[in-house]
Amino acid sequence: MGTPDHLALKPRLARLLLALGPALFAVAAPAAAQQPDSAPAQQPDSAPAPVPRGLRSIFLTPMYHDELPPPVRTLRAIQINWKGLEMATADVTLTRDEAWQLALEVVARLRAGISFDELSRNHSSLPNRHLGGVLGSFAQGMLGPKIDGFLFGAELDAVSEPLETPRGWLVLQRVGSYAAARTLLVSGNTPESLQRCLDLAARVRAGEDFARLCREHSADDLTRARDGALAIFERGPSDQLLKAAAFNLPIGGLSQPIETPLGWHLVQRVPVDSLDPALAEPVWVRARAILIAQKVVPLGAPSAERSSERALEIAMKLQERVLGGEDMAELAREYCDDFGGRERAGDLGWIHRRHPNKLHFLDSLYTAMPGELLEPFETSAGWVLMRREL
């Protein structure tokens, strides 16, 4: 059964994940000292323990049901292709042996302090290689066991040995996940506004307090009222402009002027604990959902003979009952057709905005308010009634 557009991943992230393909989910790591022709053949990972039915879902996997969202860690990658690999472009001329040697060289150069950005631009085949190859921030269990094992076992800035994937050799580095920033805006895109921004930057570098200058000079009413405090960012695969600048700065560092349609911005990176935690980028929501399946999905009775029209009718009736004050959790225990949904009362747990295995329609939860019940949503599996819990 094909996946309709409204169930697709976000286009930008989808392109990135497709470029990695099985690299995220099934990776074998040869011993560092071996040549590729003598490296052990890929062995399948040992069979995972069965997932309790209540923790299964057709919407996303894995799920996180603790009181608070799980911690995340962030990685970036350099992928080196060889000729003949699936998705390798016509300009790839390296043999598998040559790609292996280059991957070892990349590891050595990274560990010697050579810029990851430079090596990514020059050698990586990932589509975001010019943005430093950041794959994003992930909770434990979101990625394949080999990558997950490196990410959650490595120290900050550690570099992996080359990992063999169906798309090439993958070299990973664990990087910091969070950056907090203040910003000052000089409105307008004129040479005069740029000069004013440069003058303010010079005053900061001469020792004046950036927060005070934001309060006195920034044209952004929102951040000016909180001494320039902008956000606590979580690192993602396509960070740009102010967010990218924050991650590229050391603590206390000040950016060069950054132009946007609003004017010229200065960004200063500050310690995460110096800003209000409420300014953390909203990347997690918690939700409850009831799937009323239709007959195109073989989930078994009673959905086996249920038409889409009948599924919608049931979903609309359930919406009325929830709005009328009935407990959505209890209704989910009676009606939900999602795998395990009845056992967990429809609770989907915490959902990360960039969860690589979630269906796209869950993105609508991020524009809802906590406690908001959404209209029934049609999917290829049936009709879904969702409520954002937190």
Average per-residue pLDDT for the chain: 86
Alpha carbon of 50 to those of 46, 60, 292: distances in Å? 12, 16, 25
Give the separation between CA 271 and CA 279, rounded to whole angstroms: 13
What pLDDT, in 10s, does the model give residues 198-212? 999 999 999 999 999
What mean pLDDT do residues 38-65 have? 64
pLDDT of 44 over the 70 cut = no
Which pLDDT score, from 0 to 100, does residue 110 have? 97
Give the separation between CA 145 and CA 64, rounded to whole angstroms: 17
**Cβ neighbours of residue 106 closer than 8 Å, sequence gap 6 or more:** 78, 80, 119, 123, 162, 171
Cβ burial of 33 (10 Å; 0-12, 13-18, 19+) is exposed
pLDDT of 18 over the 90 cut = no
Could you tell me if 303 and 297 are in contact, meaning their C-beta atoms sit under 8 angstroms apart? yes
pLDDT of 186 over the 50 cut = yes
Range(s) within the chain of domains with CATH label 3.10.50.40: 58-176, 178-279, 284-388
What pLDDT, in 10s, does the model give residues 128-178? 998 899 999 999 999 988 899 999 999 999 999 999 888 889 999 999 999
pLDDT of 312 over the 50 cut = yes
Q: Closest Cα to residue 348, out of 368, 325, 335, 332?
A: 332
Give the separation between CA 299 and CA 6, rounded to whole angstroms: 21
CATH number given to 284-388: 3.10.50.40
Which pLDDT score, from 0 to 100, does residue 338 have? 93
Could you tell me if 339 and 57 are in contact, meaning their C-beta atoms sit under 8 angstroms apart? yes
Q: Beta-carbon neighbour count of residue 3 at 10 Å? A: 12
Percent of the chain whose predicted confidence (pLDDT) is above 70: 84
What pLDDT, in 10s, does the model give residues 355-377? 988 998 999 999 999 999 999 99
Partner residues linked to 174 by β-bridges: 75
Percent of the chain whose predicted confidence (pLDDT) is above 90: 72
pLDDT confidence bin for 62, thresholds 50/70/90 = very high
Q: Closest Cα to residue 356, out of 48, 3, 13, 20?
A: 13
* Cα angle value 338/135/11 (rounded, 5°): 60
pLDDT confidence bin for 299, thresholds 50/70/90 = low
What mean pLDDT do residues 19-28 have? 36
Q: Which of 26-30, 196-200, 251-255 has the lowest mean pLDDT?
A: 26-30
Q: Which of 62-66, 159-163, 244-248, 292-296 has the lowest mean pLDDT?
A: 292-296
Please state whether the predicted TM-score (pTM) of the whole model is above 0.95: no
Residue scoring higher pLDDT (26 or 102):
102
Give the separation between CA 255 and CA 46, rounded to whole angstroms: 48
CATH number given to 58-176: 3.10.50.40
pLDDT confidence bin for 109, thresholds 50/70/90 = very high
pLDDT of 86 over the 90 cut = no
Architecture of the domain delimited by 178-279 = Roll (3.10)
pLDDT of 239 over the 70 cut = yes
Cβ burial of 51 (10 Å; 0-12, 13-18, 19+) is middle
